[in-house]
Amino acid sequence: MLYKPKKQENEIKELCKKIEEFGEMAKENPFRLEIGMMFLWSYIECYGLFFKDESFSDENEYRIVIQFEEALAGCSVSSYFNSNNRQIEYTFFDRNGLLVPCLSVPLSKNAVRQITMAPMMESHIASLSMQEFLTSNGYSNIEIKPSSIPIRY
């Protein structure tokens, strides 16, 4: 994750330099500019997910991004899950009365060491519920801590 604005800015500057280099080469080959623009789009689409506001830095989170081929976008959901990713389950969860699609990806139990709870009014109840969830699913020695981010109403 990139939390520091200066690091984010440097990352974007480096990207822009590469795009400019593609642009310079485009004089010789018109397809180079198109390749540069595709690279820019791909970068924003994927790496932009790893830029977060500096106020979240104490959470030191990890983010996992799973990308699917755009060519499969019009296919049925089952087309995404071939022999290489049989353990991925396409499912839904309830978020304030809305059903939200998500991918359920198995992780080994030792992959989780700490959970930072989102800021909320009922933080004690949420923490107890999370502890119960972890225990009932065979997780142990997981630190549960509150977020230092202020509650947003």
Tokens (6 digits) for 87? 């353990």
Looking at residue 60, what is its pLDDT? 75
Q: CB neighbours of 127 closer than 8 A, spacing ≥ 6?
A: 117, 144, 146
Tokens (6 digits) for 69? 């081929």
DSSP string, 59-127: G----------GGGTTS-GGGG--GGGTT-EEEEEEETTEEEEEEE----GGG--EEEEPP-TTHHHHH
Looking at residue 82, what is its pLDDT? 58
pLDDT by residue, tens only, the chain of 153 residues: 888 889 988 988 888 887 777 767 666 776 776 777 777 788 877 788 888 888 777 777 777 776 666 555 556 555 555 566 667 777 899 988 999 988 888 878 888 888 888 887 788 899 999 999 999 999 989 999 888 776 665
Tokens (6 digits) for 19? 């795009």
| HSE-CB for 82 with a 13 A CA cutoff | 7
Q: Is the dihedral of CA 52, 56, 62, 68 positive or negative?
A: negative
* CB 115 within 8 Å of CB 128: no
pTM exceeding 0.75: no
Q: What angle do CA 93, 1, 38 make, to 5 degrees?
A: 85
Looking at residue 13, what is its pLDDT? 87
Looking at residue 53, what is its pLDDT? 82
Neighbouring-strand partners of residue 92: 101
Domain boundaries, the chain: 5-59, 108-153
Dist. CA 118–CA 141, nearest whole Å: 20
